[in-house]
Every structure is written in structure tokens, then in C-alpha cells.
Amino acid sequence: MTAPIADLATYIDHTLLKPEATRADVERLIAEGAELGTYSVCISPSFLPVQLPEGLKLAVVCGFPSGKHHAEVKAAEAALSVAQGADEIDMVIDVGAAVEGRYDIVESEIRAVRAAAPAPTVLKVIIESAALSDEAIIAVCEAAVNAGADFVKTSTGFHPAGGASAHAVELMKRTVGDRAEVKASGGVRTRAAAEEMIAAGATRLGLSSSRDILADRTAAGDY
Ligand SMILES: O=C[C@H](O)COP(=O)(O)O
């Protein structure tokens, strides 16, 4: 049992990525993020630009959720999101390339997005850890660090194989060490699960159920 985290909200990217989300839903998400004191809101690029209250960061997904986009398309999408106010880009890798062991493809697409969204934009690389072997998780994390990513992130929250696990977070953190941070996302439904991810090495959490989790209520969800 680890000590409760007093400032849990500051770890959270308060997230809404459902295909059916509306502009009104995004406005509610932003108001809720501000009220709860989350680190950021994480949204889809088609909602940009958005007005944010002071202090709330903007994370925007890229190549989401399949990752099956040309590297050039991911790069162009990231550049447009940055031009429209994104502080952080959460890109999905070509998971199939990782399954095939084509880590060169993965590294090159991350490099393309990094070039399109240079620092100080924060680049997070979503590896879809539940769909990868431990060996592939390690290799993809190395590719992400080599390509200049700031974070490796477990999951989209939309893959049938599942979302974040403490095992994956721990393995990812052990692999990247202090060269990058780890974001746990997808299927985190309780405060205990959120704190377990932090204990495993996550410094950011992607949560669509932030209000319930901060209130220590179990949230509903697909997994
Ligand atoms: O990173 C973002 C995820 O889509 C959040 O997943 P969740 O809805 O399972 O919390």
C-alpha cells in the first residue's frame, strides 16, 4: 500500500476522445478540468482552436486512435495542432509495425512528428502497450527516446486488448529511466488504480473519469 497522493489532480490529462463528443462536451471538459485543477485537458484536433482558462494546458491527440496514418499525415496534423494552440501532442505509433519488429518505422514516424512539433511542445508517444509483448514495449520505448519523445504513454483507451497496467508502466519506466516520463492512460477507473500507476513510475495520467477518481468513486467504463 502506497501513501495517498495529495495533489493527484496535477498528474491528470482530463480526457475526452470519444468519436461522438460534441463542442459542448469539450466546453464542459474544459470547465471541469479548471474546476478540478487538472494539469491539462486532452482532446481531438478537430475541436481546435479552443479557449482555455489560465493555467490549464492543452494536449491534443495525433494519428488517433489507430496510428495507421502516414508519418507525413501525423506530422502535418501535429504541426496544425501546435499552430492552433496545443501545448502537448499525444501521437499513436503504427502498432502493427511494432508487432512486426519494424522499430525503424516507428522511430522514423516519431522523428517526423518531433520535427513538426519541436520543443517546447511536449511529445507523448502512445505505444498501445496491451497489444505488445514486453520485448516490443522495450524496443518501442527505446525508439521513442531516440526520436526525442518527452513521454511514452501506455494506451489510447480504445484498443480491445485493454488499457494501462502497472506491469507495462513499470517496464516502460525501467526502460526509459530519466530520459523520458511515462503516462498511464486507458481503463484507469479508481483512485487506487491511479495511485498504483504513479507508484509504478507514471508522472502523468490520462483519465476520462477524473471527477469520480478524485472523489474516490469507482467510474464506469468498457475496461
Ligand atoms: O488517454 C486517454 C484515454 O482515452 C482515456 O481513457 P479512459 O476513457 O479509459 O480513461
Residue 209 located in a structural domain:
yes
User: Which single residue is written with the C-alpha cell 484498443?
Assistant: 159
Q: Whose CA is nearest to atom 8 of ligand 1?
A: 208
Residue 219 located in a structural domain:
no
Give the number of the atom of ligand 1 that is nearest the alpha carbon of residue 61.
Answer: 1
Structural domain count, the chain: 1
Residue 13 located in a structural domain:
yes
Q: Confidence band (pLDDT; 50, 70, 90) for 3? A: low
221 or 59: which leads in pLDDT? 59
186, pLDDT greater than 60:
yes
Residue 1 located in a structural domain:
no
- The shares of helix, strand and coil residues in the chain, as percent rounded to the nearest 5, are 45, 15, 40
Residue 221 located in a structural domain:
no
pLDDT digits (tens, 9 = 90+) for 73-122: 999 999 999 999 999 999 999 999 999 999 999 999 999 999 999 999 99
Give the number of the atom of ligand 1 that is nearest the alpha carbon of residue 209.
Answer: 10
Residue 220 located in a structural domain:
no
Mean pLDDT within 164-181: 98
Is the ipTM value over 0.90, yes or no? yes
Parent domain of 89: 8-214
Q: Is 74 assigned a catalytic role?
A: no
Distances (CA, A) of 204 to 40, 124, 169, 220: 10, 10, 11, 21
* Domain CATH number, residue 163: 3.20.20.70
Give the number of the atom of ligand 1 that is nearest the alpha carbon of residue 163.
Answer: 9
Q: Confidence band (pLDDT; 50, 70, 90) for 2? A: low
Cell of 51: 479557449
pTM, entire model:
0.97
Q: Is 183 assigned a catalytic role?
A: yes
Q: Which residue of the set 94, 124, 150, 153 is catalytic?
A: 153
Residue 3 located in a structural domain:
no
pLDDT digits (tens, 9 = 90+) for 127-147: 999 999 999 999 999 999 999
pLDDT digits (tens, 9 = 90+) for 25-66: 999 999 999 999 999 999 999 999 999 999 999 999 999 999
Residue 186 CA to ligand 1 center (angstroms) comes to 4
Residue 222 located in a structural domain:
no
Mean predicted lDDT score pLDDT of the chain: 96
